[in-house]
Structure 1
Amino acid sequence: MVEAAVVGQRDATYGEQVVAFVVPRETQPPRADLVEALLAHCRTRLARFKVPAHLGVIDQMPKNAIGKISKQELREVDF
């Protein structure tokens, strides 16, 4: 991975859910395979409530004026 970020996103059922975003290297496997591999990795190492409900593969992270990842913009992404 080049970059990764995890945010909480509003959910009608649970109030909030864990959502992860990654920017892959160009040499990573195709997106569908990458998503499943990352989620499988999370399932074996994290408590169930910490495993992302969704994992988005994006081309670049949104950044604010000083170059930090804009988690607010990531929270607004629809799946």
Structure 2
Amino acid sequence: MGTYYNPGSDVLDGRVGRRLDTYMYHQAKEQLREGEHLYVLIEFKTHSAALCVDDAREFYEFSRLLCPYTFYALSEAAHSRSV
């Protein structure tokens, strides 16, 4: 797995990104505006993580973990700060 936005709490708290109203990958991709990147936010008891899933293969690899998630759109500027 590749690119993470750190800290994920910035996404969760709404300081970065825009929540997408779907749980289906293809619908989330359709909701992206030009220049945005698709992320999934995963919440754990101790922390949260935001993983870039622009590539469908990354999403399907992630989805095999069976973790609950929420889709978010992050701007190019936020994505460029990802690690």
TM-score, normalising length: structure 2: 0.30
